[in-house]
């Protein structure tokens, strides 16, 4: 059973650029959530994808967008990068909320630095 894999592991961008982060969900999981974890803070919910559609969104601006593909993998796109976007971006896969199984399986994250 493979876990959640994320790429790239590290990247550096400059302010105003765009970035795409990728996530492959754990085998059998069809729901993907993205979280932003600033240094020394807890993860903050960005959004969730289920059946290739956004299924809930946290307090993040529209320049944060995502996609989910038929194989349940997902992308997080961030446009017009700002310095405050520097963080660890975590992908978590899970079964649907109505499955009764509540465990989020996290990847190791993509660390984004915006200069």
Partner 1 sequence: QQQVKQSPQSLIVQKGGISIINCAYENTAFDYFPWYQQFPGKGPALLIAIRPDVSEKKEGRFTISFNKSAKQFSLHIMDSQPGDSATYFCAAPFSGGYNKLIFGAGTRLAVHP
Question: Where on the chain is the footprint of partner 1 (CB under 8 A)?
Answer: 4, 31, 33, 35, 40-45, 48, 55-56, 59, 90, 92, 94-98, 102-109
- Please say which residue, 15 or 104, places its beta carbon nearer to partner 1: 104
> What's the token pair of residue 73?
């993998």
Smallest separation (angstroms) from partner 1 to the CB of 51: 14
Strand partners for 23: 6, 74
- Please say which residue, 16 or 28, places its beta carbon nearer to partner 1: 28
Determine contact, residues 104/92, Cβ cutoff 8 Å.
yes
- Please say which residue, 95 or 114, places its beta carbon nearer to partner 1: 95
Give yes or no for a cis peptide into 60 (omega within 30° of 0).
no
Find where tokens 């979280």 sit.
Answer: 35
């Amino acid at each position: 059973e493979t876990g959640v894999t994320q790429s790239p592991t590290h990247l550096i961008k400059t302010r105003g650029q765009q970035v795409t982060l990728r996530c492959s969900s754990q085998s059998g999981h069809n729901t993907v959530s993205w979280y932003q974890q600033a240094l020394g803070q807890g993860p903050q919910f960005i959004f969730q994808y289920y059946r290739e559609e956004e299924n809930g969104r946290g307090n993040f601006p529209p320049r944060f967008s995502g996609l989910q593909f038929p194989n349940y993998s997902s992308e997080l796109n961030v446009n017009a990068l700002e310095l405050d976007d520097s963080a660890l971006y975590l992908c978590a896969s899970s079964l649907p909320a109505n499955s009764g199984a509540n465990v989020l399986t996290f990847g190791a994250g993509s660390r984004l630095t915006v200069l």
